[in-house]
Amino acid sequence: MSQSEDTATRPTVRLRPKAEARAIRHGFPWVYADELVTDRRTKAIAPGTIATLEDGERRPLATVTVNPNSKIIGRVMSRDAEAVIDRDWIAAKLSRALEMRARLFDAPFYRLVHAEADGLPGVIIDRFGDAAVIQPNAAWSEVMIADLEAALAEVTGVTTIIKNAAGRARALEGLDEEMLTLRGGIEAPVEVPMNGAIYLADLLGGQKTGLFYDQRPNHAFAARLAEGARVLDVFSHVGGFALAALAGGATSALSVDASAPALDLATKGAAAMGMADRFATRQGDAFDTLDALSREGERFDLVICDPPAFAPAKPALQAGLRAYERIARMAAPLVEPGGYLVLCSCSHAADLSQFRAACTRGIGKAGRSAQLIHTGYAGPDHPMLPQLAESGYLKSLFFRLD
């Protein structure tokens, strides 16, 4: 049975008189805790409950999901204050998301749902052929996980569904961590064809959902620079840029990562491509490895650094920008004159201008000058909500160095 609700009996929450209702009317998807009247009744609402949001004059404004444990106390599910949030509603959102991906991609390997931008607040779903991984990062999706699973199977036909409930986003919602197979099962890493390369995604034990689809267009751009090149891919995970570069004609690719299991998957991906002889790995701390390669006199035609988020939130911004500058300063000397340096950030807190300035400082401190030839972002399966700047998190800068 689908969880359903009676809109007449569900709770009501109200914006404070000075809160900006216009932003919600115009599509902003969040209500912060200091914008809502949080009396004893509101604080007692169970996390993930569907409620009607009213403005300061008690006029119905939207249908929201409420989580009193989160700074984002309300997430807009629909600007229709009488919308019924049930399995059919979820299925309609999934169908809309699927229709766009089916137009854009010739194989079913992509991010199917990108949270608020696809109308399912806090929910990430990555598809890997007949399997899918759900990250239910908002309380409502935890409460309605059975409906999410059933609708996902119905709409897409996937036979394996995995719940990957881990990470910072869930902690901010007051949710626990859990890895669970909801439907079907999977015995081995999944082969994912992308940009002419073959990646192996560990859906049960890998980082996030097992693969980072967001860099797909940037992998493709880097591959265009890789023909005949020696390539260094730092923070490589399962071979992201390195395997794409090999598919683009690189003579060799070296993947650096702290994770031995990730590098093992990268090696298996290169073997599946028939390019194991051109691929090598080096396990270790990225900064230490960059330093060691420099001391060894190594040089490359294309160097990519795609680190985890150094500035995931505002308190970490300055330290994160210093880390990005340091990466650029250490990587630039490894690039042959006329070669290319790609520097990436997935930090929400560091905007493009701040990230670009940090990278430019680092390149300059390394004694190199550069042209910025391209700025890349996440692919179209990671849509942005125009009202939510945080959704435009990924930045990839492509420099040519003198």
Residues that are catalytic = 346
**What is each CA distance from 351 to 148, 165, 191, 313, 354, in whole angstroms?**
33, 27, 34, 11, 5
Distance CA 365, CA 369 (A): 10
The two most distant CA atoms of the chain are separated, in Å, by: 71
| Residue 159: its H or E element | none
Strand order in the sheet with 109-114: 109-114, 123-128, 131-136, 160-165, 178-183
Instruction: Give, as one character, the DSSP assignment of residue 36.
Output: B
**Closest alpha carbon to 66 in 31, 100, 34, 37:** 31
Q: Which residues contact 331 (CB under 8 A, 6 or more apart)?
A: 234, 290, 303, 305, 341, 343, 362
Q: SS3 for 307-358, per residue?
A: CCCCCCCHHHHHHHHHHHHHHHHHHHHHEEEEEEEEEEECCCCCCHHHHHHH
